[in-house]
Amino acid sequence: MKSARVPVPLLVPAVLGLVFLILPLVGLLARTPWATLFDRLGDPGVVTALRLSLLTSTLATVLCLVLGVPLAWLLARVTFPGRRLVRALITVPLVLPPVVGGIALLLALGRRGLVGQWLDATFGITLPFTTAAVVIAESFVALPFLVIAVEGALRGADSRYEEAAATLGSKRWTTFTHVTLPLVAPGIAAGAVLCWARALGEFGATITFAGNYPGVTQTMPLAVYQTMESGDLEGAVVLSLILLVVSVAILAGLRDRWLTAP
């Protein structure tokens, strides 16, 4: 880049913004008990929570892909009455505090919830306090990220390729799988990464809807919180650091492959 003069009114807030984002991470590193770090890493509680976090956020991403890509396609390619309303509804979990999302999930899928009641009575399935509930809570908050990213990719993709496929005898479903999906694959990948990152960091909806029990529903963010609560600040810092390192490592790994900005 050429060393053009950057106007001060832009430079100062920009630098402040950067410091604002980086300072807390520096704080975390500054308080890290490096001496005992490796002992704590091997702690079975840490391993359990980390494994559960990686498992649930990956499953949540898969669920979001299965539900979110068709939903994004519908929004991007089909004109139907109330489409704007549907799009607005999809973005609600983005602005909703996750705890509220958790309560809403309880009222819908909990043992006494609208659907949960029926699930319990008919199949004997109760979702709260299960690993499935963690996946559901994470999917609930992460799905909008995926839908918005994929819808954007679909809108950006040239729909005339789909017309070309139709003139070659391709039915809509085949066109979707053989033409549309490959065309928007980078957008889907970006959406999935965002979705996964959001699911990994999920706290409020999870603790409210899925509860907190080690090995079943206690993901890393919950473990961090509980460790902090119990006064073990050092432990909380170690757990936070692990979560930070794992997420940054995975995002950086994917970034080279999928998320290279144009």
Partner 1 sequence: MADSPVTLLDARLVVRRGEFRLDIGLRIEPGETVALLGPNGAGKTTALRALAGLAPLQDGHLVLDGRDISELPPEERPIGVVFQDYLLFPHLSARDNVAFGPRRHGMDRRSAHAVADRWLERVGLAEHGRRKPRNLSGGQAQRVALARALAVDPVLLLLDEPLAALDARTRLETRGELRRHLAAHPGATLLVTHDPLDALVLADRLVIVEEGRVVQEGDAATITARPRTDYVARLVGLNLYRGRGDGHSVAIADGLALTSTDTVEGDAFVAFPPSAVALHPHRPEGSPRNTWAAVLADVQRHGDNLRVRLDGPISVAADITPAAAAQLHLEPGRELWVAVKAAETRAYRA
Partner 2 sequence: MRFAVAAGLTAGMALAGCGGGKAGEPMASGSAVTGTITVFAAASLTESFTTIGRRFEVAHPGTTVTFNFAGSSALATQINEGAPADVFAAASPKNMQAVTDAGTPATFVKNQLVIVVAKGNPKGVAGLAGLTRPDLKVALCAEAVPCGAAARTAIEASGVKVTPVTLEQDVKAALSKVKLGEVDAALVYRTDAKASAADVDAVEFPESAKAINDYPIVVLKTAKNPAGARAFVDYVLSSEAATVLTGAGFQAP
Q: Residue numbers of the site for partner 2 (CB under 8 A)? A: 106, 110-112, 126, 128-129, 207, 211-214, 216-218, 225-226, 228-231, 233
- Rounded to whole angstroms, how far apart are CA atoms 228 and 258? 35
Orientation of helix 220-229 relative to helix 233-258, angle to 10° = 160
- Rounded to whole angstroms, how far apart are CA atoms 135 and 64? 10
- Rounded to whole angstroms, how far apart are CA atoms 118 and 223? 32
Helix or strand or coil: residue 217?
A: coil
CB of 160 to partner 1, least distance (A): 6
CB of 89 to partner 2, least distance (A): 24
Burial class of 82 by CB neighbour count within 10 A (0 to 12, 13 to 18, 19+): exposed
- Rounded to whole angstroms, how far apart are CA atoms 87 and 24? 34
Interface residues for partner 1 in 190-249 (CB under 8 A)?
Answer: none
Q: Which residues, including other chains, have CB under 8 Å from residue 204's CB and lie 6 or more apart?
A: 97, 98, 99, 100, 101, 102
For residue 110, the partner it binds in partner 2, partner 1, none, with Cβ less than 5 to 8 A by kind, is partner 2
Nearer to partner 2, 66 or 233 (CB): 233
Q: Which helix (H) or strand (E) holds 122?
A: helix 116-123
For residue 170, the partner it binds in partner 1, partner 2, none, with Cβ less than 5 to 8 A by kind, is partner 1
Contact (CB, 8 A) for 136 and 128: no
Nearer to partner 2, 93 or 128 (CB): 128
Q: What are phi and psi of 260, to 5 degrees?
A: -60, 120
CB of 210 to partner 2, least distance (A): 8
The span of 38-46, 139-147, 153-161, 240-248 binding partner 1 (CB under 8 A) equals: 153-161
Window 105-144: contact mask with partner 1 (x via CB under 8 A):
----------------------------------------
Interface residues for partner 1 in 155-194 (CB under 8 A)?
Answer: 158, 160-161, 163-171, 174, 178-179, 182-183, 185
5 binds partner 1 (CB under 8 A): no
Judged by the rule CB under 8 A, the positions of this chain that interact with partner 1 are 158, 160-161, 163-171, 174, 178-179, 182-183, 185
